Amino acid sequence: MIKGTNSQTVREVLNRIPDYKRHKVKEVTLDMAASMENIVKYSFPKATLVTDRFHVQKLAFDAVQEMRIQLRWEAIEQENKEFELSKELGKKFIPDIYENGDSLKQLLARSRYLLFKAKTKWTPSQIHRGEILFRLYPSLETAYNLSIQLGNIFQTIKDKRVAFTKLAQWYDKVEKAGFESFMTVRRSIEAHYPTILNFFDNRSTNASAESFNAKIKAFRSAFRGVRNVTFFLFRLANIYA
């Protein structure tokens, strides 16, 4: 409900809530932004900080996409060179087409969404495309498996100590793979290790807050220009409180 994420501004607003009420807050989920951590530690000093699992998983998904995008640019550049060579030789350029009907750059472009999902949720066309993709790029399959394995830790592990062990094993796999994008993910997780592990105490996430924020944004868009929009937002907040 507060515009912006400047820690001083948010803290000033939260300070309007009496201390005894803010001290009742036991747990706060947040992203990895330093400003958010600063706000929570100051305004809710007795609360346990929990790094939202979906922000952690998104880092791994982004790392996979970074690799896919780099490979796509390489494929585009290679196709451009082949096109120019064909042009110099006076031949018509025809790109190689794989058994599912994709050229290489199309294969990499159209694989975006399947890399966000577990293989069990792939459609038949995604299964076919994924098989070709991983046959051509085994490193991308390794990166994809790393992202899925990280998500599985959050989805299936209930015990904090077991989670600690599983994350350590995941770190080892990342180090052996040697992907720079995943090394960045690993360093980010290490920087927030305690608050990430706090997730396994109560398995709390930002999901409900994100959903509420989405409803507010949609509501504001629908009533843009309406004089009493603040009143409507206030009513909406009371309904979902």
- Give 34-52 pLDDT, tens digit per residue: 888 999 999 999 999 999 9
For residues 95 and 45, the answer to whether their CB atoms sit within 8 Å is no
- Give 133-170 pLDDT, tens digit per residue: 999 999 999 999 999 999 999 999 999 999 999 999 99
CA–CA dist 74, 94 (Å, integer): 18
- Give 205-219 pLDDT, tens digit per residue: 887 777 777 677 777
CA distance readout (Å), 18 to 1, 47, 202 = 18, 15, 26
Residue 190 has pLDDT above 60, yes or no: yes
Please tell me whether residue 161 adopts helix, strand or coil conformation. Answer: helix
CA–CA dist 43, 32 (Å, integer): 17
CA contacts within 13 A on the Cβ side of 129:
20
- Give 84-116 pLDDT, tens digit per residue: 999 899 988 888 999 999 999 999 999 999 999
Supply the DSSP symbol for 119: G
**Average model confidence (pLDDT) for the chain?**
90
For residues 77 and 69, the answer to whether their CB atoms sit within 8 Å is no
Which pTM value belongs to this model? 0.83
pLDDT band at 233 (very low <50, low <70, confident <90, very high): low
Q: Where are the alpha helices (DSSP H) in the chain?
A: 7-14, 19-22, 34-43, 53-88, 104-110, 124-136, 138-156, 160-177, 180-191, 193-197, 199-202, 207-222, 229-240
> Quick one: 185 exposed, middle or buried, by C-beta within 10 A (0-12, 13-18, 19+)?
buried
Two tokens at 23? 């001290």
Q: Write down the domain spans for the chain.
A: 1-51, 54-198, 206-241
CA–CA dist 130, 122 (Å, integer): 9
The residues pairing with 50 across neighbouring beta strands, listed in sequence order, are 29
CA–CA dist 90, 25 (Å, integer): 73
Give me the pLDDT at residue 209, please: 73
